[in-house]
Structure 1
Amino acid sequence: MSITTQFLRRPLTTGAVAASSRRLARAMTQHTGLETARLVVELGPGTGVFTREILRQLPVDGRLVAIELNPVLAAGLFVTHRDERLTVVEGAAAELAEAAGAPVDAVVSGLPWTVMATAERDRTLDAVAGALVPGGCFTTFAYLHAAWTPPGRRLAAALHDRFATVRRTRVVWPNLPPAFVYRATLTTTREDTAGSGSAGPRASRSSRG
């Protein structure tokens, strides 16, 4: 299963030319409270680079719901990650509340926001904000070269419209292309106050088979 092949076949739903790096995966999952989370949702997991890091940090009694629109990638994720805590859902990210079935502690997104239709982007971000518990964390990334394009600016504005705090990490250079992470929360946390970097269905348990 190649993310590059899927991009060539389905560029509007895959979005990434190459799989994200482990360094970006670590940046995506830092300071998100995964170590104590009971329920986490991953949007657009692709080949599972972020999935692997989430599962590494998730408690033994935690649960991860990974929602992937691309059927080939969803099937591959089910095969490569044999973990009882993981549920793979083939469907739209905006349906995350239905897929999760309960309030969510953290949402980690690999979605290609800049190629999404505005209505779909807004619907998905509204769903994320509506599904998170108070103090829950949402992380997503943006490619450095696209950050100052009109779609990139609209994404940043959309995040600020919905979340009390939006912070931007340093650039992860060992990624193709280089990227940074947006970390957003519905309420201001102690770390946010002291920190820096604020930025202007079909489900299957992976243990089966």
Structure 2
Amino acid sequence: MNSSQVGSVIPSSGFLTRTMLPVTLPWHKMKRIAELGPGTGAFTQHIQQNRSSGSRLYLYEKNETFRKQLARRFPELPLFDDALRLGEIVQETGHPFDLIVSGLPFANFSYELKEQLFGAIRDALADNGTFVAFQYTLLLKPHFQKHFPAMDTGYTWMNIPPAWVFKCKKALHVCHKRGDT
């Protein structure tokens, strides 16, 4: 397993899942959803349980071991090996993504790869769509803000390791900071 492709050796907690994907999300309005770096499928399972029956979920996982596990666990979901291919689905369907969920370990990537990924995500996201990601450090906050000027940050201690959550939009709005309650 390539350590630059894996952000953690422990699957994400239910607390992190609920912080990133709260029940208050307008699931009924989301027609196209992408998950980048689903790993073992902790977020995937949650998305599957909450998304509307008319929506489509696309998975992007580079790690071959995880891809094989995901294909067995979620055989009905389209599975791709590279998040930089987000634009292909937008081009094929003519519809951008309403929600892009990321478990990608951006801190492990080169500056060039981060730039490519953030650009691909921004370009594939609907104008009113949401990009939500977690990281184990706040050091990447300026990088997120460079590409997504509208961003809320949250934090959960109830994950190993504790994690920062970035909820991003393309358009500017008032940003808030939240932690566990």
* TM-score (norm: length of structure 1): 0.77
Choose the corresponding residue for 2:164, options 180, 192, 202: 180
Choose the corresponding residue for 2:103, options 90, 96, 110: 110
Alignment partner, residue 124 of structure 2: 131
For these two proteins, the number of residue pairs brought into alignment is: 174
Tell me which amino acid in the other structure corresponds to 2:82.
A
Alignment partner, residue 197 of structure 1: 177
Instruction: Give me the whole-angstrom Cα distance separating, in 1, the residues matched to 2:111 and 2:128.
Output: 26
Residues 121, 187 of structure 1: CA spacing in aligned structure 2 closer, same or farther, 3 A cutoff? same
Task: Looking at secondary structure, tell me which structure has more helix per residue.
Answer: 1
For residues 141-182 of structure 1, the C-alpha deviation after alignment (integer angstroms, 9 at most, x for no partner) is: 011xx33xxxxx2x211211111311101x212210011210
For residues 74-112 of structure 1, the C-alpha deviation after alignment (integer angstroms, 9 at most, x for no partner) is: 110111125x4x2222x2212211145331111000001
Q: Root-mean-square deviation (CA), in Å?
A: 1.8
Q: Which of structure 1's runs of 4+ aligned residues deviate more than 4 A?
A: none
Instruction: Give me the whole-angstrom Cα distance separating, in 1, the residues matched to 2:38 and 2:98.
Output: 17
Residues 184, 32 of structure 1: CA spacing in aligned structure 2 closer, same or farther, 3 A cutoff? farther
Tell me which amino acid in the other structure corresponds to 2:38.
P
In our comparison, the structure showing a higher alpha carbon Rg is: 1
SS in 1 for 2:78: strand
Alignment partner, residue 204 of structure 1: none
Instruction: Give me the whole-angstrom Cα distance separating, in 2, the residues matched to 1:11 and 1:24.
Output: 21
SS in 2 for 1:23: helix
The percentage of aligned residue pairs carrying the same residue is: 28
Tell me which amino acid in the other structure corresponds to 2:176.
S
In the alignment, structure 1 residue 35 sits paired with structure 2 residue 19: no
Instruction: Give me the whole-angstrom Cα distance separating, in 1, the residues matched to 2:176 and 2:105.
Output: 26
Choose the corresponding residue for 2:83, options 85, 93, 115: 93
SS in 2 for 1:10: coil
In 2, are the aligned partners of 1:32 and 1:137 still within 8 Å (CA)?
no
Residues 161, 32 of structure 1: CA spacing in aligned structure 2 closer, same or farther, 3 A cutoff? farther
SS in 1 for 2:4: helix
In 2, are the aligned partners of 1:129 and 1:186 still within 8 Å (CA)?
yes
For residues 87-138 of structure 1, the C-alpha deviation after alignment (integer angstroms, 9 at most, x for no partner) is: 222x221221114533111100000110111100110000000011111100
Instruction: Give me the whole-angstrom Cα distance separating, in 2, the residues matched to 1:196 and 1:43.
Output: 24
* TM-score (norm: length of structure 2): 0.89
Instruction: Give me the whole-angstrom Cα distance separating, in 2, the residues matched to 1:110 and 1:180.
Output: 11
SS in 1 for 2:40: coil
1:32 to partner: Cα distance: 4.6
Tell me which amino acid in the other structure corresponds to 1:196.
H
Alignment partner, residue 141 of structure 2: 156
